[in-house]
Amino acid sequence: MTDISTRVPHVMSSPGRRRRSGGPRAGTVAAFVTPFFLPFLLFYVVPVGYALWQSFRVVRRTGGQYGTSYTAFGGLDQYAQVFQNTEFWSSIGRIGLFGIVQVPVMLFVALVMALLLDTPLLRVKAFFRITAFMPYAVPGVIAAIMWSYLYSPQLSPVVDLLTSVGWQPDFLGPGAVLWSAANVSTWLWTGYNMLIMYAALQAIPQELYEAAKIDGASQWTIAWRIKVPIIAPSIVLTTVFSIIGTLQLYAEPAVLRQISSNISSTFTPNMLAYAVASGNNYQQAAAISVVIALITFVLSFGFMRLTSKRAGL
């Protein structure tokens, strides 16, 4: 991250500062860091370590109709199963499609909204900013429940309205349900991404705009030629967040599943992991989770490296 932030020194604090900490201050640093480090260890490192450990185990059983189960070291058995699992790959393919469409759409809308907020044209800024951000305050599950009412042919005023004008939408049908879930995610997260971009826009010094105006640049040119390139690091950041979020997709489809049979129990990789765990196969669920984490890691870091190289950061 420091690579990117140095390009826009106004956005984040200067990296030079941290050099000064040394010998006698180590105690103070530890005192400040421990409150973070302990929960991090307990609630992050330990569970991850436990999942890793589980992913290398297999269930064994003493004889008899039910037997007594215990776990033993199983090497890469669980991983071999993940890679052979067609359900796993089709769930990855499904959210890949989801992400390729949803992430650009959402970030484009967020960028346009952030740029609009930043122009002198828009009068009711505070109101616009808060309403756009509002959905982010709604928990994902609640949002999905709310939207599931709007999608449901039995209950939805929206469907009633569309039906009355002669269009019978089936938001929960086999072809549409993925995009209905994408719509919920977009609704939830656009305002959040907009705020990150807007914060970056606020940090751009006014002199740049004045110089551009003197050179005869229109608002349009200023937006696309000056603002967007300068806040590129924020766009990269929101993209990385969105890639991670897409791979973790769970709440929206899991809630929609309760009213649509077109969402299977293995619809997204996380749902598959949950379904496997609920069948008491904790070891396989752990291996699936580890593979999802690795894919997330590779994709998000890959994207960051790619963009930082191309932008010459």
Partner 1 sequence: MSNTVMRTSLAAAAALSLTLLASCSSPADSDTASAGSCTPAKGKVTLQYWNTVPGMDKVVALWNKNNPDIQVQTKNISNDQYGTLGNALKAGKAPDLAQVGYDQLPSLRTQNAFVDASACSAAGAAKSKFVPWTWSQTSFGDTGVFAFPQDTGPMALYVRSDLFKKYGLPIPRTWDEYAAAAKKLHKADPDISITFFDPNNAEWFNGLLWQNSAKMYSYSGDKWHVSVASDQSKQVTEYWQKLVSDNLVRTDLAHGSTQMYAAYQKNQIASYVGASWGYSMFRDNLPQQAGKWSIVPMPTWSADGASGDWGGSTVAFMKGNSHLYESVKFNTWLNTDPEALALENKLGGLYPAANAGLQLPALSEGVPYYNNEKIFDVFAESSKKIDTTFAWGPTQKTVNLALQDAMAKATAGDGTLTDALEAAQAAALKSMKDQAIPATAGK
Q: Residues in the site for partner 1, rule: CB under 8 A?
A: 26-28, 30-31, 33-34, 37-38, 41-42, 45-46, 49-50, 53-54, 57-61, 63, 65-71, 152-155, 172-174, 257-259, 261-262, 264-266, 275-276, 278-282, 284
CB of 152 to partner 1, least distance (A): 5
CB of 57 to partner 1, least distance (A): 7
Instruction: Assess contact for 270 and 295: CB atoms under 8 A.
Output: no
CB of 102 to partner 1, least distance (A): 22
CB of 263 to partner 1, least distance (A): 8
**Phi then psi for 263, rounded to 5 degrees?**
-110, 115
Q: Which is nearer to partner 1, 131 or 261 (CB)?
A: 261
Q: Which two tokens stand for residue 308?
A: 């930082």
Q: Which is nearer to partner 1, 35 or 312 (CB)?
A: 35
Contacts 24+ apart (CB under 8 A), 304-310: 304/236, 304/240, 307/232, 307/236, 307/239, 308/3, 308/4, 308/236
Q: Which is nearer to partner 1, 26 or 130 (CB)?
A: 26
CB of 230 to partner 1, least distance (A): 40
Specify the amino acid at residue 204: I
Q: List b or e across 151-174, with b for residues whose CB sees 16 or more CB atoms inside 10 angstroms.
A: bbeeebeebeeeeeeeeeeebbee
Q: Which two tokens stand for residue 277?
A: 């765990």
Q: Which is nearer to partner 1, 58 or 293 (CB)?
A: 58
The DSSP string of 60-86 is EE-SSSS--EEEEE-TTHHHHHHHH-H
CB of 286 to partner 1, least distance (A): 11
Q: Which is nearer to partner 1, 135 or 153 (CB)?
A: 153
Q: Which is nearer to partner 1, 118 or 252 (CB)?
A: 252
